[in-house]
Amino acid sequence: MIFPNETPNNGNNGTVEAQERPPFITPPVDLTDDEVDKSDVDIVLLQLKEEAILQNLLHKRIMVNNQRVLTLEHNNGRKYRVVVPPES
């Protein structure tokens, strides 16, 4: 039984028919509010900035310095070594 019925129904094996369930009504949403939550925008911009910085550093190491083995350190102190294969 997916939706058990509290009261027995005539021959529907204990499931609630769609006609018996009350309709789901969402509350109205005010779309006229022009204020933008600046904290949401700041989070997105911060993530984009961090990604751009990391991409620039990676590009500099690989293309300018010809460095194919990168050692990365996690916040918890663990070090990881990444090997970038040569371009084909």
In terms of C-beta density within 10 A (0-12 exposed, 13-18 middle, 19 or more buried), how is residue 52 classed? exposed
Q: How many CA atoms lie within 13 A of 39 on its CB side?
A: 0
Task: Report how far residue 16's alpha carbon sits from residue 10's, in angstroms, rounded to the nearest whole number.
Answer: 11
Q: What is the pTM of this model?
A: 0.42
Supply the pLDDT for residue 9.
53
Tell me if 8 sits within 8 A of 19, measured CB to CB.
no
What are the tens digits of pLDDT across the range 18-62?
567 777 788 877 766 666 667 777 888 899 999 999 899 888 888
Q: Where are the domains of the chain?
A: 38-83
How far from 61 is each of 36, 48, 79, CA to CA, in Å? 39, 20, 18
Supply the pLDDT for residue 62.
84
